Amino acid sequence: MATKHEQILSFIESLKVGNKISVRQIAKELNVSEGTAYRAIKEAENKGLVSTIERVGTIRIERKQKENFENLTFAEIVSIVDGQVLGGRDGLYKTLNKFVIGAMKLDAMMRYTEKDSLLIVGNRTEAHQLALKEGAAVLITGGFDTDDTTKQLADQKQLPIISTSYDTFTVAAMINRAIYDQLIKKEIVLVGDIYTKVEDTYFLKTKDQVAKWYEWEEKTTHSRYPVVDEKNKVVGIVTSKDVIGRKMDILIEKVMTKNPLTVMKETSLAYAAHMMVWEGIEIMPVVDHHHHLEGLISRQDVLKALQHIQKQPQVGETIDDIVSNYFDHSPTDPHHSTYHAEITPQMTNQLGTLSYGVFVSFVIEAARRMLRHQKKGDLVVENITVYFIKPIQLETKVTFQPKIIDVGRKSAKVDVEVFHEKKVVGKAMLMAQLIDR
């Protein structure tokens, strides 16, 4: 039987797109506590089933496919521009295909305004009405309102008309940034993209006997299996070392390792790799929010996928990409790996000096490149200590000199010194685990 939490999620999923919901309403209709209703609505929001907008409430939206991440809903636009919905709330769940800046004559503006687009314009009521008739939503900049006829038309057409206090240029920049951020997110590979689904995997039940493990091993040649209880929840894992020397009729629950590490489909692949390499785990169960078994990932699959990702072009630039692009290797000194970088405006803090976060990114990149150069594999940082840093000015050229203090098969300790005009301006020590690529 489904739990109350699962019943609420099913209820939300069954709602028509555009329906408004509230904690109080769910609690009353499904006879649950407001706390249970709140938790379920939050999970529905994480799953992309609903969206909560200030001054509007929580509405059921279309669940977007991962590949359509660059299309934002009008509800998301309201959040991005800190807007107020003047009319057409029933259309907030719809996605926009493009936005048009209405800084032109009316007839020219309408040539570009098409169905499912968003017209960004000031207090031009005629333009608001024409856009709605064309099937486009409207974003009014400068904090202006519109007349009641336009609001009624927006309600009738189920197309949002939104007001924001920001100017047109700022709004366009904010929406562009949001699309750009979504594109970066789209490139982050999750466990859900590579896992083997439960119907294609082998697992054991707590009441199975050790003999069943031998049966599976003969069939699959694998030696590790997740263990589930009668509710299909992951409660353990069984490996060859757990069953060797045990009698064939002993129950699996007596020999399994309890509380194994698990991941969810929403976990990033890099985090899963980190856990598996550090803990020396070969397979990991993939579970849902209620700990039900959904499938498996293997260390081999994870590392293969990470190698594949590294060969793909990056869509949007993250801070680490910017740092990497400004890094030059200097082959002058045969005894030291030396790297140079110039401090650009986007790397600085409010005082115009190098940001501490970017400094740490530089230190990690220097250590990573040196270890790769010496064929030691890639690194996942476990601990970093910055124990000396001087303010580093804008447009300064700095040199990074990483040095291996200690290196083993699975881990490395690296010291990094940072120089400007032969004077030390920073020092850091990092400990990392090595991933053999």
In the block, which residue shows the tokens 């294609």? 200
CATH code where residue 276 lies: 3.10.580.10
In a domain, 393, yes or no: yes
Torsion of CA 350, 352, 357, 360, to 10 degrees: -160
Q: Are residues 127 and 31 in the same domain?
A: no
> In the beta sheet, which residues pair with residue 20?
59
Alpha helices in 86-209 (DSSP H): 106-112, 125-133, 148-157, 168-187, 191-194
Domain boundary among 281, 308, 335: 308
Q: What pTM was computed for the model?
A: 0.45
Instruction: Give the pairing of strands 411-420 and 423-435.
Output: antiparallel
Question: In whole angstroms, what is the distance from residue 283 CA to residue 300 CA?
Answer: 9
The proportion of the chain whose per-residue pLDDT surpasses 70, expressed as a percent, equals: 89
**What are 326-385's pLDDT values in tens digits?**
777 776 555 578 999 988 887 887 777 888 888 998 999 999 888 888 777 778 888 999
313 vs 185: which has the higher pLDDT: 185
Q: Both 117 and 85 in a single domain?
A: yes
pLDDT greater than 60 at residue 66: no
> Does the structure show a pLDDT above 90 at 214?
yes
Model pLDDT, residue 225: 95
Q: Specify the amino acid at residue 248.
A: M
**Quick one: pLDDT at residue 69?**
41
Closest Cα partner for 161 from 97, 231, 261, 84? 84
Q: What is the CATH number of the domain that holds 89?
A: 3.40.1390.20
pLDDT at 56: 64
d(CA 263, CA 285): 7
Of 126, 154, 187, which residue is a domain's last? Answer: 187
The answer on 372 and 273 residing in a single domain is: no
In a domain, 66, yes or no: no
334/261 same-domain check: no
Helix then strand then coil, % of the chain, to nearest 5: 40, 30, 35
Residue with the two structure tokens 């929580």: 58
CATH code of the domain containing 22: 1.10.10.10
d(CA 211, CA 248): 5
Question: Does residue 348 sit within a domain?
Answer: yes
pLDDT over 50 at 166, yes or no: yes
> Of 275, 308, 341, which marks where a domain is finished?
308
175 and 195 within one domain: no
> Looking at the structure, do residues 177 and 198 belong to the same domain, yes or no?
no
Residue 197 CB partners (closer than 8 Å, separation 6+): 294, 295
65 located within any domain: no
**356 and 421, same domain (yes or no):** yes
Domain span holding position 274: 191-308
Q: Give how far Cα 14 sits from Cα of 7, 44, 49, 288, 353, Å.
A: 11, 12, 10, 20, 53
Yes or no: say if 382 and 338 are a contact pair by the CB < 8 Å rule: no
* DSSP H helical ranges for 90-124: 106-112
CATH no. for residue 374?
Answer: 3.10.129.10
**CA 205 to CA 221: how far, in whole Å?**
19
Three-class DSSP category at 344: coil
Is 81 in contact with 166 (CB distance < 8 Å)? yes
pLDDT at residue 65 tops 80: no
- Positive or negative: CA dihedral 36, 37, 41, 47: positive
Indicate whether 228 and 135 sit together in one domain: no
Q: CB–CB of 289/264 below 8 Å? A: yes
Structural domains of the chain, count? 4
Residues 215-244: tens digit of each pLDDT: 999 888 888 999 999 999 999 999 999 999
pLDDT at 313: 47
Q: CA–CA separation, 60 vs 373, rounded Å?
A: 51
Nearest-angstrom CA–CA distance, 157 and 1 = 42
* pLDDT (average), residues 107-130: 86
- The pLDDT, as a whole number, for residue 114 is 83
Half-sphere exposure of 360 (CA within 13 A, CB side): 12
Inside any domain, residue 300? yes
